[in-house]
């Protein structure tokens, strides 16, 4: 067992920032450290193998879970595309993950980066579809070329509906889904030459003939599109991983030691908030609570018939654990801190046949991915910062040194950013308004009256009156300023009008200069070569 290093948060990771300029990428730690980090991770995995996971060594759990991961990912991916790789059963596994949605180009960069990394290190690359998260928005923001200029409109690819996990979300309006690509192109109206939606959406319609799961169709279309640029990654929905005996073994181990896990979880969370000056009690995640003998566990429960995520609670007895959402679901696990989880794993998996979903929360998802499934995990910036908390929990609960991970992101802009000039102009106009009030002589039309008034003003400014004369001098200066304002070249009303116009332009230009536009809106001939070039140079 490895003795953990200092249990403090890494200031280095907190310094990572979103790339601001078009064509800029973040890879943290840097490219020259990746090979060393991978080697360290492989060594950490070798030395942590004796850890007991409720009657199964971590080494055995890793071996079995990784074999199933690769086989399941190959089977899943081969249904709609091929993947060619030189990696074999002994090769490292690189992992990344995101919700199955039409994300922005900076997120898409991770897929190009993990493919490039896997090729360079002769590793497997597996992208996890995080489908236990909630699908909330069935639309994207699309620029529209209108008669009054560029505007942003929201286009639906499916009917809006209640927020449920991606795993359960079906396509509800097949007409809206089928016509989405055409509607996006109509909105763009020539703004973007050859947008990727033109290639993506026929693939999305093909995917909808194989499945009615909305997130899965979007992900399959995007992944099939990546094949055209020789991106060699496998994909697998998280729900398939959660329904394996290896994840069940890991989960029941956490539940068998829940009192200690809850203490470590909440203590580490408090430290994270303190170090990062976070005041919110729900950020980055809420504390795990107790309700009498019920202890909250970091898992979700829902059912196929009622697909709304509920918190998992556990009540311990001498001979096992009662698992419940404190509403409708309740079942039993024959496990305790000092007992094998063999029977509990069978009981956990039997819930799937009943239509019960048992899924990890975010920190447990990446904990399992990093401890069990992979050798190097690629995060976005947000996920990477939150996984500092996962590191603390791994050190304190498992008493193992956590593996290193990468934070990767990029910025691609759909339109040129014209906001800098507008911001400078707005600052100048605000300064002008202040001067028109307090220093009108700077903007007055030259005349003898202006010269006299300016001289009078500075006589008052330079006067060294006795105590109590300050207010008299102030009123005198205000009277002169008021008189000078009758000689201004430009009125405050004109400046205010220009300031309002520039502020409106800035709002429009800021929306157009956003890095959050979906990747499918970008020109194919520029975005994909850019992401490929960034991946080759950055990792």
**Helix 245-256 with 342-353: angle, nearest 10 deg:** 120
Q: How confident is the model at residue 474 (pLDDT cuts 50, 70, 90)?
A: confident
Phi, psi of 355 (to 5 degrees): 80, 20
Q: What is the rounded distance in angstroms from the CA atom of residue 331 to the CA atom of residue 329? A: 7
Domain ranges of the chain: 136-232, 419-512
- Mean of the pLDDT values across residues 477-500? 90
Return the pLDDT at 507: 83
Q: How confident is the model at residue 113 (pLDDT cuts 50, 70, 90)?
A: very high
Length of the chain: 539
Q: What is the rounded distance in angstroms from the CA atom of residue 136 to the CA atom of residue 383? A: 19
Q: What is the rounded distance in angstroms from the CA atom of residue 480 to the CA atom of residue 482? A: 5
What DSSP string describes 286-300? PPP-EETTEEEEEEE
Give the start-end residues of each E strand in 158-288. 164-165, 234-237
373: closest CA among 240, 209, 506, 177? 240
Residue 358, classified by CB atoms within 10 Å of its CB into exposed (0-12), middle (13-18) or buried (19+), is buried
Alpha helices, DSSP H only, in 8-87? 11-14, 34-47, 58-78
* Location of structure tokens 């000078």: 484
As a whole number of Å, the end-to-end CA separation of the chain is 32
Q: What is the rounded distance in angstroms from the CA atom of residue 82 to the CA atom of residue 387? A: 32
In this predicted model, what pLDDT tens digit does every residue of 254-280 receive, in sequence order? 999 999 999 999 999 999 999 989 989
In this predicted model, what pLDDT tens digit does every residue of 395-443 receive, in sequence order? 999 999 999 999 999 999 999 887 888 889 999 999 999 999 999 999 9
Return the pLDDT at 3: 32
Q: Is the pTM of this model over 0.85?
A: yes
In sequence order, the β-bridge partners of residue 236 are: 128
Q: What is the rounded distance in angstroms from the CA atom of residue 360 to the CA atom of residue 128? A: 14
């Amino acid at each position: 067992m490895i003795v953990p290093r200092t249990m403090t948060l890494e200031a280095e990771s907190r310094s990572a920032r979103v790339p601001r300029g078009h064509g800029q990428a973040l890879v943290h730690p840097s490219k020259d450290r990746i090979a060393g980090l991978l080697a360290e991770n492989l060594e950490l995995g070798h030395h942590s193998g004796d850890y007991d996971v409720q009657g199964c060594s971590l080494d055995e759990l890793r071996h079995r879970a990784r074999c199933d991961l690769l086989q399941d990912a190959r089977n899943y991916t081969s249904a709609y595309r091929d993947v060619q790789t030189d990696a074999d059963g002994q090769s490292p596994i690189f992992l990344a993950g995101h919700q199955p949605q039409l994300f922005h180009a900076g997120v898409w960069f991770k897929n190009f980066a993990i493919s490039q990394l896997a090729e360079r290190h002769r590793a497997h690359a597996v992208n996890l579809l995080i489908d236990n998260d909630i699908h909330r928005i069935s639309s994207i923001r699309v620029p529209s070329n209108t008669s009054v200029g560029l505007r942003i409109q929201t286009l639906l690819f499916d009917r809006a509906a209640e927020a449920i996990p991606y795993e359960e979300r079906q396509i509800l309006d097949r007409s809206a889904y089928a016509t989405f690509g055409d509607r996006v192109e109509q909105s763009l109206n020539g703004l973007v030459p050859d947008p990727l939606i033109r290639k993506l959406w026929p693939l999305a319609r093909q995917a909808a003939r194989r499945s009615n799961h909305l997130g899965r169709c979007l992900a399959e279309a995007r992944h099939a599109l990546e094949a055209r640029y020789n991106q060699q990654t496998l994909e697998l929905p998280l729900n398939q991983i959660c329904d394996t005996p290896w994840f069940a073994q890991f989960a029941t181990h956490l539940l068998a030691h829940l009192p200690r896990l809850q203490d470590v979880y909440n203590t580490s969370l408090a430290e994270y908030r303190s170090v990062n000056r976070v005041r919110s009690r729900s950020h980055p995640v809420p504390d795990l609570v107790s309700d009498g003998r019920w202890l909250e566990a970091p898992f979700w429960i829902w059912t196929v018939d009622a697909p709304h995520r509920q918190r998992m609670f556990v009540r311990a007895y001498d001979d096992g654990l009662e698992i419940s959402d404190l509403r409708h679901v309740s079942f039993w696990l024959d496990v305790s801190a000092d007992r094998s989880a063999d029977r509990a794993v069978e009981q956990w998996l039997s819930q799937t046949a009943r239509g019960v979903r048992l899924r990890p929360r975010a920190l447990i998802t990446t904990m399992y991915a990093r401890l069990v499934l992979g050798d190097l995990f690629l995060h976005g910036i947000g996920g990477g910062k939150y996984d500092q908390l996962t590191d603390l929990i791994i050190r304190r609960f498992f008493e193992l040194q956590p593996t290193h991970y990468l934070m990767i992101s990029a910025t691609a802009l759909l339109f040129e950013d014209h906001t800098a000039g507008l911001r400078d102009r707005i600052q100048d106009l605000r300064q002008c308004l202040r001067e028109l009030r307090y220093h009108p002589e700077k903007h007055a039309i030259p005349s003898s009256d202006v010269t006299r008034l300016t001289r009078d003003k500075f006589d008052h400014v330079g006067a060294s009156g006795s105590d109590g004369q300050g207010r008299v001098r102030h009123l005198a200066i205000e009277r002169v300023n008021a008189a000078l304002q009758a000689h201004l070249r430009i009125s405050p009303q004109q400046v205010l009008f220009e300031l309002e116009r520039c502020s409106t332009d800035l709002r429009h230009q800021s929306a157009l200069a956003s890095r959050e536009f979906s990747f499918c809106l970008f020109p194919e001939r520029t975005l994909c070569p850019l992401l490929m070039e960034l991946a080759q140079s950055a990792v």
